[in-house]
Amino acid sequence: MLLISVFFASLAPPIHSSGSNWFTKPHSRRKSGKKVKVTFSDQLDTASTTGSNSSVPSTPSPSVSSAQHRWRYLEQIFAPSTSAAAAAPAGNRSTGSSEFDRGSSFRQSNTSYGSVGSSGPYNRRAPPQRKVGQKMADCEKEEALNLQVEFEWVLHEEVHSVLKQLHVILVECAHRFPVPLYGNEGKKQDKFVLTAAPEQLKCIVTLTGDSITHADINFKVQRQQQQIQRTSITQDYPWKIQQVQDAANHLQQAINHIDNVDGAYHFKTSDEVLHILGNILGALQRGRTSLVVPRKKPIDELMKSRNMKALSPNLPEDLAISFYIQSHKLIFVAYQLTNFQGTMKFDSCQAECSVPWLNEVLVLFTVALQLCQQLKDKVSSVGEREKPAKHSFHAPIAHRTVAR
User: 232-278, pLDDT tens digit by residue?
Assistant: 999 999 999 999 999 999 999 999 999 998 878 888 888 888 999 99
Tell me the backbone φ, ψ of residue 229, rounded to 5 degrees.
-100, 130
Q: CB of 209 within 8 A of CB of 178?
A: yes
Helix, strand or coil, per DSSP, at residue 349: strand
User: 108-135, pLDDT tens digit by residue?
Assistant: 444 444 444 445 555 556 555 556 667 7
Measured CA to CA, the distance from residue 404 to residue 249 in angstroms comes to 8
Measured CA to CA, the distance from residue 124 to residue 134 in angstroms comes to 25
Question: How large is the angle between the packed helices 132-153 and 356-383, nearest 10 degrees?
Answer: 150
Residue 271: per-residue pLDDT: 87
Q: Where are the domains of the chain?
A: 134-386
Q: Which of 310-319, 380-389, 392-401 has the highest mean pLDDT?
A: 310-319
User: 31-78, pLDDT tens digit by residue?
Assistant: 445 554 555 444 544 444 444 444 444 444 444 456 677 777 777 776
Res. 402: pLDDT tops 80: no
Residue 291: per-residue pLDDT: 95
CA distances from 256 to 210, 253, 396 (A): 22, 5, 10
Measured CA to CA, the distance from residue 334 to residue 325 in angstroms comes to 15
Q: Which of 340, 334, 331 is nearest to 241 (CA)?
A: 331
Residue spans of beta strands (DSSP E) within 67-196:
189-196
Helix, strand or coil, per DSSP, at residue 247: helix
Measured CA to CA, the distance from residue 123 to residue 121 in angstroms comes to 6
236-247 burial string, b = 16+ CB within 10 Å, else e?
A: eebbbbbbbbbb
Mean pLDDT of all residues in the chain?
Answer: 74
Res. 96: pLDDT tops 50: no
User: 320-356, pLDDT tens digit by residue?
Assistant: 999 999 999 999 999 998 887 778 888 889 999 999 9
* Range scoring the smallest mean pLDDT among 26-30, 124-128, 201-205, 319-323: 26-30
| Percentage above 90 pLDDT, the chain | 35
